[in-house]
Every structure is written in structure tokens, then in C-alpha cells.
Structure 1
Amino acid sequence: MKRFFILLISLICCGCSGQKSKINGISFVASPKEISETNIDPVVNVKANWAAVMPFGFVKNLKEPSVVFNIERQWWGERADGAKQTIELLNQKRIKVMLKPQIWVWKGEFTGNISMDSEEDWNTFENSYEDFIMLYARLGQEMKVPVLCIGTELHTFVQKRPTYWRQLIKKIRSVYKGKLTYAENWDQFANVPFWNQLDYIGVDAYFPVSDSKTPTIEELREGWQQHKSKIETLQETIVKPVLFTEYGYRSVHYTGKEPWDSNRIHGNVDLLAQSNALTALYEEFWKEPWFAGGFLWKWYHNHDEVGGEDNNRFTIQNKPAEKLIQSLYKDD
């Protein structure tokens, strides 16, 4: 009986979010130079109804207490002006946007390990991060973006400085009136102290689901069960819809073993493994009433020049998985 009432509350919550259909999204990679509506047409063709737009801020190392952002040296799509025009182009094609400003650490070090050594450095870093996020909160409000993601895979920062984040969320809500989420990594999503202040539980869903070279859909679905149970447990506690702020698989052997692995390797292309992994994830989650949808990682503006059947990276572009996602997103 208790579980029934929890599910009922969850269904009511999902309904109150105003979401009439799943978020069938792609993660639109920032372009080095200005784009046009022709760069959006492939997004329409894959039947995506949402896109994540991702401007960037940079830090020099894991101890650097300042975020560099919105400067001329950055790519066009990484700056506010590029993000604004990208949002406009997507909206013209009736594609909704989650604005997802992110941090990149030089040399590709993991953002989850950003941590300061002194209170002074923490305060400096927090002020800098606030300036970064508030710029895009104001842009999100100006563009009437429906969802703003306030951070991505920052678990050390989040867990060590919860008071800062709670105050930051209040400041964001003072200027931005849309819905909020935060994108936490698959192994830390249960440890975020402020989910109850947000509208979606955001998870970057790179869960290990199979050790096989080319796993079957059935094997992958079985591999999801332990993780799905943990997601459901948190969802029942927080009573907010779950959003996969990122999900995806490389077209490579053992794609389900360490799906977060983005190291550049040659060969080992496995188009079937990518398609099977995406199918399994879709079949496990898209039918769930508490699941809001997700943003596929990742999609490039220059569609005809990327991906392809000899490519072992995350993108589905010009691979069998592109037609698969088109079919899955169309059917939702």
C-alpha cells in the first residue's frame, strides 16, 4: 500500500511538471564558428524534440579558484552570443532547449575532482562560478528556455559546499523562472544534497551494464536492473522526475563495460553494440512514468562530416544508431 501511494504521488508530480511527452533530446556540441538553420535540420530529421545547448567555462587545473568564460578566445558556440543564436535556431524548428553551461578543466581532468585547499580559495571559486551560472540564468530567462542545468559532474564541490549551492539555487530562481536540474555523474547521483530544491533529478547515465564484447539487448537490460533499482529508490524519496541529462554509448567493443570512457583509441568499431545498448536503455526507461527523458551524447553541427561507420566515438551521426534513434524518438 505504501508503494502504491508513493507511485501515485510520483505520477502527480510528473504531471505537475507540465511535461506532456518525453524529452527526446540530443546534446548539441558547441560549434567553433557561427551556424545557420541548415545545421539544425538533421536534429529535426532524427525526431529530437529537445536539445541541450552547452556553453563552456574553463579552469586551468583542479585547484584553480576562477572560471574563465565568455571570452573571444573561446569557440563561438561556447560563448553567450553563440549559445543565444543556437537557442534561437533550435526554437525556430520547434525544438525546446535545456541550457547546460559546463566547466572544462584543462588537459581533460575530471570536474568531479575540483577542490580548493583553503576557505579563501573556495570563496573565490564560488564567486566566479556564480558569475558564470548567473550569466546563463539571465540568458535562459531572456530566451524563455524551459530548463536550466546549474552544473555538471561536480560532486566534490557539491558535497563539500552544500550551503553555497542552496544559496546559489535561490539566486538563480530570483532571475530565472523555468525549471532547474543538475547533472550528476552515474556513481554520485544519490549524494546530491539539494535535489529537493530542483525540478528534475539529473543523471549522466554512464552506468556499467555489460562486460561483453558485443552485448545483446537482453543482457544489457539485465545489467540495468541494479542501477535502475537505485534510481527508483531515490526518485521515490525525492518525488521528482528523473532526467538523463546525458546518456549514450560509443560504437566500440565492450561499450557497456565503462560507458564513460572517452579515451581515443583506433579501431574496435562495433556498430551493433552501440545500437543494442541504446535500445536496452530506451526499453528500460522511456516507459516509466517517473522518467522525464534524456539527452543523447553527443551531436555535432556539421552532420555530413562527422561519425560514419568507421567511427568508434559517441556520436550516432551517419551510423545505424541514427536511424534507430529516429525510430525510437518518432514512436514516443
Structure 2
Amino acid sequence: MNGISFVASGEATTQEHLDAVVNINANYAAVMPFGFIRNLETPVLQYNTDRQWFGERAEGVKQYIEMLHKNNIAVMVKPQIWISRGEFTGYLKMNTEKDWKVLEESYLDFILIYARLAEQMNTEMYCIGTELEQFIIQRPKFWNHLITEVKKVYKGKLTYAANWDEYKRVPFWGQLDYIGVDAYFPISKEKTPTIEQAKSGLQKWKIEMQQISEIHKKPILFTEYGYRSVDFAGKEPWLSSREMKSINMYAQTNLTKALIEEMYPEPWFAGGFIWKWFIEHNKVGGLENNQFTPQNKPVEQELKKYFKLYGN
């Protein structure tokens, strides 16, 4: 899967937007509706409301899928939670049984709305959650129930997007089709790692992933992967702080090339979704941008080459 993470926008997507996705030889896209929670202890999700951007709610998800399918790009619907002030979703944890029950009911409704939509639109894959480690550890019975309920309404492939330091402990891989990993593994402490240094830093993680794949007899899928165009981008690749002011296109390019060259040829690896791709291609990224997007940066051309190479 040569995938891009198709970021929700306030507007509908157009053929002009999709031309850029087709141009890099992507054959998959993650479409990401959002639910919002006030803080780590709040049990109620807000979702599919008029206050949200078009692409964050069902109406927009449906339109994005229609346009992607029209361009022969397969789709993974990947609902996500945003906690105010950017709190990490992996820490979401209720303090009382009553609140846990409220959260479970709210989350199940959220997931089933988009599972039904994914089935209606004949999408190829559905992701039941993203980086929710404490929720899973504390409430394993709920997650088994959720998977059962999703399978009643959605017949495509299923995954869950586990954080890079979480995926080994997810208890329900046997019920899904892919072991989803948000692949922000720390692989280099160098300011500008070479491709060889980055590949070396990947080895222990690669061995670990192969072992987990063999244990569960499921392929590894990078539900997210990518690097910022900053100094030391391989040290803590998950950092999104805007306090990081440097710009380093070589680091982003070398790290991305190393990851793809190491992972894509492996028979137990199913591909991945680059983080992240904005719909208005001509207005984002560029040589002054140090965020994750590969758009209008040197790494975009590398992705185009690799996606063509591994397109089959």
C-alpha cells in the first residue's frame, strides 16, 4: 500500500487536488474523520457536528471517498480523536466506572457511524482506533465487543493504529487483518543522518516487527509514518512542536528513503501511509516548511519513485 494520510479540510476535494495524489503514484489514502474530547478525563466525544470542518464529518468523508475511488485510489477510513490542547490520546483514561461506560458508548457510536459509511462506500479498509493504549489496557472486553459490532456492519479489512511503543501489547491483533503501527521509531541521534545510519538505526525495530508479525501471523502496516524536515528528525520523530525552528530537507529525505528501502521489500510488510498530505497541494509544504508533509519538498520526488517501484 503506497498510501497518503489525506488531511481533512474545510472544503470539498476537487479533481485538481486529486491530480497531485495520482501524480506521486499513491494507490491508497487514509481519510480521517475526527471526534473531539475536552480533556483526558472527559468521557463524551463530540463528532459529526456542523461546527467541524467539512472533511472531519460524515458528509466530507463520503465526498473524499467518492473522489479518491474515482481516481482508482483505495481508501482506509481512519477515525481519530483530538483532545483539547493536543493531549496525547494514549493517556485517555477515565476515573470512574460510570465515566468508562459513557466513554465506551460514545466511542462505539462514533466508530459504528463511520464503519457503516465505509461499508456503504465500499472502502477497502477500516481502522477502529488510533493510539489509545490506556483505553485498551483498562477496557479489553469493550474492545472485543467493539470489533464484533464493527464486523456486523463492515465487511472489508480491519486494522488498529497502535503507537510505535504500544503495538507489541495490543491484545486483539488476532481479530484484525493487519497489525497497524504509527511508525515513529527513534532511529538516529544525528543532526542529518545518512541513509546508512538511518538503516542501521531501524534494524532492532525491524527485527521486533518481524517477530510480532510471525507471532500473530498478520502483516505489519504502517498506519502512519514520516519525518519532519528538521534537524535531528530521527531522534524523536513524533515531536510536532513548533518551537523546533530548523529546516533540514536532507534529514527528512534520507530518513524516508531508508525506511522505505528497508521495509517495503519485506514479505511481512504491507506498506504504509505517509503523514501527512493536505488537499490543496499548491499551497502547502515547500522549502520553508519544516513540518511532516512531503509536499513540494525533495522527498516528494523520492516517494513518487518508490511508489512506482512498489506499485504492484
**Interval containing the TM-score (normalised by the shorter chain):** over 0.9
Q: CA deviation at 1:39?
A: 1.0
Residue type of the alignment partner of 2:6: F
* In 1, Cα distance between equivalents of 2:197 and 2:148: 43
One-letter code of the match for 1:324?
E
Residue matched to 1:320: 298
Matched, 1:237 2:215: yes
- Amino acid corresponding to residue 69 of structure 1 in structure 2: Y
Q: 1:143 aligns with which of 101, 121, 135?
A: 121
SS of the counterpart of 1:318? coil
User: Hey, what does 2:61 align to over in structure 1?
Assistant: 83
Question: Aligned match of 2:13 in 35, 47, 54?
Answer: 35
Using the TM superposition, give the Cα deviation of residue 232 of structure 1 relative to its aligned residue in structure 2, in angstroms. 1.0
Distance in 1, Cα, partners of 2:285 & 2:16: 18
Aligned to 1:52: 30
User: For 2:163 and 2:74, how far apart are their aligned partners in 1?
Assistant: 24
Distance in 2 between the 1:266 and 1:230 partners?
A: 30
Distance 1:266 1:188, change over 3 A: closer
Give 1:201-240 correspondences, 5 Å limit. Answer: 201-240=179-218
- 1:129-208 maps to which residues of 2 (within 5 A)? 129-208=107-186
1:101 is matched with 79
* Greater displacement, 260-269 / 166-175: 260-269
Instruction: Give SS of 2:223's match.
Output: strand
1:296 corresponding residue in structure 2: 274
The alpha-carbon distance between structure 1 residues 173 and 254, as it changes in their structure 2 partners (threshold 3 A), is same
1:12 aligns with none
Amino acid at match of 2:100: W
SS at match of 1:107: helix
Of 73, 82, 87 in structure 1, the residue corresponding to residue 51 of structure 2 is: 73
In structure 1, the residue corresponding to 2:41 is in which secondary structure?
coil
How far has the Cα of 1:42 moved from its partner? 0.3
Q: Distance in 1 between matches of 2:230 and 2:73?
A: 30
AA aligned opposite 1:269: I
What per-residue deviation string (whole Å, max 9, x for no partner) do you get for residues 176-209 of structure 1?
0001000000011101010100000000000000
Amino acid at match of 2:135: F
Residue 175 of structure 1 and its aligned partner are, at CA, apart by 0.5
How far the C-alpha of 1:274 sits from its partner, in A, is 0.4
Alpha-carbon shift at residue 35 of structure 1 (Å): 2.2
**Deviation, structure 1 residue 33:** 1.6
What is the letter of the counterpart of residue 184 of structure 1? Answer: A
Provide the aligned length of Structure 1 versus Structure 2: 310
Taking structure 2 as the reference length, what is the TM-score of the superposition? 0.98
Secondary structure in 2 aligned to 1:298? strand
> Counterpart of 2:20 in structure 1: which amino acid?
P
RMSD, aligned α-carbons: 0.7
2:108 counterpart SS class? helix
Q: CA deviation at 1:123?
A: 0.4
Aligned AA (1:206): Y
The worse-fitting range, judged by mean Cα deviation, of 260-269 and 26-35 is: 260-269
87, 98, 112: which one pairs with 2:90? Answer: 112
Scaled by the length of structure 1, what TM-score is found?
A: 0.93
**In structure 1, what is the Cα distance between the partners aligned to 2:297 and 2:99?**
46
Cα distance between partner residues in 1 of 2:299 and 2:243: 20
Contact 2:230–2:244 (8 Å) recurs in 1: no
- Note the C-alpha offset of 1:229: 1.2
Corresponding position of 1:13: none
Q: Secondary structure at the match of 2:81?
A: strand
Task: Report the CA distance between 1:101 and its aligned residue.
Answer: 0.6
How far did residue 265 of structure 1 move? 2.9
Deviation at 1:267, TM superposition (A): 3.4
Q: Give the C-alpha shift of residue 40 in structure 1.
A: 0.9
Unpaired runs of at least 5, structure 1: 1-22
**Which residue number in structure 1 is paired with residue 252 of structure 2?**
274
Partners of 2:134 and 2:63 lie apart in 1 by 33
How many angstroms does 1:266 deviate by?
Answer: 5.4
Say which SS state the counterpart of residue 136 (structure 2) adopts. helix
Q: Whole-Å Cα distance in 1 between the matches of residues 244 and 138 of structure 2?
A: 39
Amino acid at match of 1:316: P
